[in-house]
Structure 1
């Protein structure tokens, strides 16, 4: 994965081009590919740590991370996304590992909760997460809470 360059930034550190490319990728996957109408630009990006994966200067992978107490008692990872054409290269694993390191660095914790699309349970389990509670629908897509303990 030497062709993936990962950058970790607070909102004010993102360039306009980076922000545009991040929002474009999120829209491409979560709105168009998953055929889900929802409010992606939710006002929470300003509070997030942004973990951005670049390949040839193109945003191909991304997460946003939040401090404990913002979403859940634990730190949180959301908007985990990899461009469809790049998924075969393992960039999802790389962006998750970088997100864990970012949460540890910025928030001094390794306890992380996320709301996972249920078809990705095994992916998140491979990163140390366990399901928590019952599944639920979020924007018409089956989700489940998952927790990674310290």
Structure 2
């Protein structure tokens, strides 16, 4: 999935992301969107991983590693932004399933996670994304993530 994209090109900043996603600290895991193509059903986000992240206090404090489930959550949130931008403003995507998840390398403080997501299927009731997290041009996590779309007032 990875391709040379300008890291300086910010399509959405954190304030704009917070208007789209219902998540807040400590669970808002996307810092910015650097690429968005509705025609290609593709979005690329970024997450700066710092030593100050709350989960490093208890997740191997002497050798801090970002929990794999949080990398998957960052990918799912990036997909949620794509879903919103595809016109589903009154809906919220909730996790339905995760398939073919692979954790290839640990994510550690100082890493810049590149969150690449492509829409595989989208309908009024849900869909599926293909997602890949990359650090230094190496895949660290990948999965297919299924989601259901619920009306925001149902949550």
TM-score (norm 2): 0.34
Structure possessing the higher relative contact order (Cα contacts under 8 Å, 6 or more residues apart): 2
The structure that is helix-richer by fraction is: 1
TM-score (norm 1): 0.35
